Amino acid sequence: MRPILMKGHERPLTFLKYNRDGDLLFSCAKDHNPTVWFADNGERLGTYRGHNGAVWSCDISWNSSRLLTGSADQTAKLWDVKSGELLYTFTFDSPARSVDFSTGDKLAVMTTDPFMTKTSAIHVKHITEDVEEQTNESVLVMRGPSGRINRAVWGPLNKTIISCGEDAIIRAWDPVTGQEVMSTKDNENGHKKTITSLCLSADKSHFLTGSLDKSAKLWDTRTLTLIKTYATEQPVNAVTMSPLLDHVVLGGGQDASAVTTTDHRAGKFEAKFYDKILTEEIGGVKGHFGPINALAFNPDGRSFASGGEDGYVRLHHFDSDYFNIKI
């Protein structure tokens, strides 16, 4: 499996996302410029210029016409995917961290970080068809969790919003009333440290979380019941799962500040594959020269991308052997 190396960012990668058709890959990094690539050959299509801070996450609308980005410059921006034109800027009073379109793209959930005296918050915004009618008003603002919220996504049929972050608790919220419906607070087998990442399955029936406690966990979306735990030796920064096979991929490594310059593991930061059911490690893909911060599977299940602290996006197309792995 020969990876395609995509060098388009000057700073560490923070997030990767494929569009629904799997032909485009969007990357976010600390260098302020979200970038779009062709997912088959890694050719760079263009960048979206306008942010003045690290871009933490992005999401693409169902028909791939609009891109939503959240940034440390206290804004979330809505872009025209094709032209690269900035359509609208949502402004906040603290850095925007996570963004996610609802099913149907009529709403979006955005989270903001704790800042000065303000606590972290989850904002629900209306996304209008006509940009002229777009407003900055939030339909709903939910506060509550202490520390930063690293990810907030829509549950099945937009019935819930699922959030996780520094307090290591996963919460489900009612997007109409703003009430917390469920949480993993009392689950003794839950995460013990910051939850860094969250990835929903293709049908949204279950989701995977990665944490600095060196584990990833699989949960039932409707009940927040723990299904499986995947243990690893390093803090997990990114998780994704195959839409085709029962494979879970974890990426991470020590925090960049903890990696010494003489670290003997140069190029050894690997994306580890686990069997989703048996929770056993089945292989790894090495290559990054720093911790892996972002992972994404192509919706067709035939390739995946990883983004690292080293500023590279690596695109891996699987060999046919991969689909015949027997355990």
Other beta carbons within 10 angstroms of residue 187's beta carbon come to: 15
Backbone angles phi, psi at 311, to 5 degrees: 85, 0
Q: What is the pLDDT of residues 124-156, one digit of tens each?
A: 999 999 999 999 999 999 997 889 999 999 999
Mean pLDDT (the chain, rounded): 93
- What distance in Å separates the CA atoms of residue 163 and residue 8, rounded to the nearest whole number? 30
258 in Cβ contact with 296 (< 8 Å): no
286 in Cβ contact with 267 (< 8 Å): yes
pLDDT at 161: 97
Global confidence as pTM: 0.93
Fold of 4-324: Methylamine Dehydrogenase; Chain H (2.130.10)
Q: In percent, how much of the chain has pLDDT > 90?
A: 90
- What distance in Å separates the CA atoms of residue 230 and residue 27, rounded to the nearest whole number? 26
At 299, list the tokens: 């919706």
List all residues 6 or more positions away from 169 whose beta carbon is below 8 Å from its beta carbon: 145, 183, 184, 185, 190
- What distance in Å separates the CA atoms of residue 228 and residue 7, rounded to the nearest whole number? 35
